[in-house]
Structure 1
Amino acid sequence: MTLPTTEDRDPQSIGLSAKPDEEVLAHILQRQIVALEAARDAMPQIAGAAAALHAAAASGGKIGYAGAGSAGLTALTDCLELPGTFGFPADRMRILYAGGAKNLMTLAGVHEDDSEAGFKDFQESGLGSRDVLIAVSASGTTPYTLSAVQAANDAGTETIGIANNADTPLLREATHAVLLKTPAEVIAGSTRLGAASAQKAALNMMSTLVALRLGHAVRGHMVNLVADNEKLRLRAQRILQDLTGCTPDDAAIALQNAGGRVKTAALMLLKNLDVDTADRTLALHDGNLRPFL
């Protein structure tokens, strides 16, 4: 019987229990590294998916994520991190997770098979023709995730499918198919290992590329962050000093006057503007600080 890669057993991982701890750990790490290479092989597909994500973000569209189990958790992480890291508006982010928030503590597998819930969750998401849905499923066959993608296609929502098995329904259904051809897992079927590492890498690559294109990441800094705690305030001050050459005190004052918004504070310092004028000037350039540097 031929098994899909995500369910197959890795011959190199048989007999690990008889080996010393550090040798076992070294093997697990090496298999993770091999899995990550799948993201390199999928670079053209990831670039195409990022272009769709960029178009939606630049036009004011919403970004949705769909998934179940560990793949859904990987999608959820990306969704939750983008507002804080790159300033993607939280009110334009959506997460469709099998079983909903109440399933995050138990990860009951039964919800993965609920096609009706995938359809219903999409309908309630408010995603439409200007938006994009990123669906993640290691197997590429998860019923919940597939039904969400099918509903998205029917609604004219652009879809990105990320899977670790070739020639699977998710990759056939999605507008943009990203195959992460990872090897069999150290523990057969445990796709929270190599498959999830490759998924996370692909999502990181996509979102960071989009942030760069939108001007949310400039000169290696996350300039679209809003400094709302002490760690971020100190980071924001360092960013302002690096971008404008100002003193620590000037950075702190500008940041406070700008309500913690790094781009606004930077433009105030660079062009000697007040808050309102800096905001209007940024708006004229689609929020991109790069032309002023």
Structure 2
Amino acid sequence: MKLPTTEDRDPLSIGLSTRPDEEILALLLQRQRDALTATEAAIPQITRAAEALRKAAQAGRKIGYAGAGSAGLTALADCLELPGTFGFPPERLRMLFAGGAENLLHLAGSHEDNEETGYRDFQASGLGEGDILIGVSASGTTPFTLGTFRAARQSGTVTIALANNPDTPLLRIADNPVFLNTPPEIVAGSTRLGAASAQKAALNMISTLVALRLGHAVRGHMVNLVADNDKLRQRAQRILQDLTGCAAEAAEEKLVLADGRVKIAALMILEDLDAEGAAQLLSANDGNLRPFL
């Protein structure tokens, strides 16, 4: 019986432990490159997924992620990073992880086997019509994730699926399937290696493209960040100086008045407004700073 790619064994793994360390590491790195090549081949599908996410984000809809095990951790990382990098409101994010938060330390595998749990977790999430659910499953057959997608379809939630096996149930049920054709793993079935690298790259591409289209990333800067620690305050000050040409002192002053919100501070400088006026002007332009630069 032919095994799914994510369970198959890489022929080059046989006898690998007898080879020098440098050769083993070189092969591991090559398989990471192969995973990224698979991601490149999926760019047309990734483009469609990003457009679906852009529409939902621009309409003020919620974004959910679903997954189990290592694929769930990859989804969780993207979910957690959206607010800090691109200023996406945390209250509009949902994470459906098999087994819940208490399963994060030990990753008990049994939680992913229950499709009904995924269905119920979706129903409890508050996701609904017009929202987005992004499911990540290397095999494309994870029952928990399939349960969330079954509930999403019934609720009118748009779905994006990332999977590393072709023609799998998750890809078939998804509105926006993304097939990442990664090779077998050096350690068979350990999809936290190449498969996860492709998943992470694809998620990074989707969220970054959406941020660019929504004006949350401008001239290579994360302008939607909220500076709430010393590192981010220094970064925000540099961003303001680059975007507006102001002095460091002016950037620091406006950031304080804008409660660390870079876009607001930028408009205060560019349009000579107070924080309230800048916020109103930004809102009237869908939060996009780019027209004023």
Aligned AA (1:54):
R
- Shift, 1:283, TM fit: 0.5
How many angstroms apart in 2 are the aligned matches of 1:109 and 1:3? 20
CA deviation digits over 1:177-234, x for unaligned, max 9?
Answer: 1000000001000000000000000000000000000000000000000000000000
SS for the counterpart of 2:9 is coil
Secondary structure (helix, strand or coil) at the match of 2:255 reads: helix
Partner of 2:25: 25
> Residue 234 of structure 1: SS of its match in structure 2?
helix
2:217 matched residue in structure 1 = 217
Q: TM-score, normalised by structure 2?
A: 0.99
1:238 to 2:238 alignment: yes
Gaps of 5+ in 2: none
| Cα shift readout 1:232-268 (whole Å, capped 9, x = no counterpart) | 0000000000000011111100101100000000011
Tell me the CA shift for residue 13 of structure 1.
Answer: 2.1
CA RMSD of aligned residues (A): 0.5
2:278 is matched with 278
Aligned residue for 1:39?
A: 39
Which residue of structure 2 aligns with residue 251 of structure 1? 251
1:113 aligns with 2:110: no
Matched residue of 1:161: which SS?
Answer: strand
* SS of structure 2 residue aligned to 1:228: coil
Question: 1:129: Cα distance to partner?
Answer: 0.6
Q: Which residue matches 1:182?
A: 182
Q: Larger deviation: 12-21 or 205-214?
A: 12-21
For residue 66 of structure 1, give the secondary structure of its aligned residue in structure 2. strand
Distance 1:271 1:127 in 2: 38
1:269 maps to 2:265: no
Deviation (angstroms), 1:20: 1.2
CA drift at 1:19? 1.1
List alignment gaps of at least 5 residues for structure 1: none
Equivalent in the alignment of 2:288: 288
Q: Would you identify which runs of 4 or more consecutive aligned residues in structure 1 move more than 3 Å?
A: none
Q: What pairs with 1:1-293 in structure 2 (closer than 5 Å)?
A: 1-293=1-293
Give the residue type in structure 1 aligned to 2:160: I
| Amino acid of the structure 2 residue aligned with 1:73 | L
Query: What is the aligned-residue identity percentage?
Result: 70
Distance in 1 of aligned mates of 2:203 and 2:12? 28
**CA deviation after TM superposition for structure 1 residue 38, in Å:** 1.0
Normalised to the residue count of structure 1, the TM-score between the two structures is 0.99
Length, aligned pairs only: 293
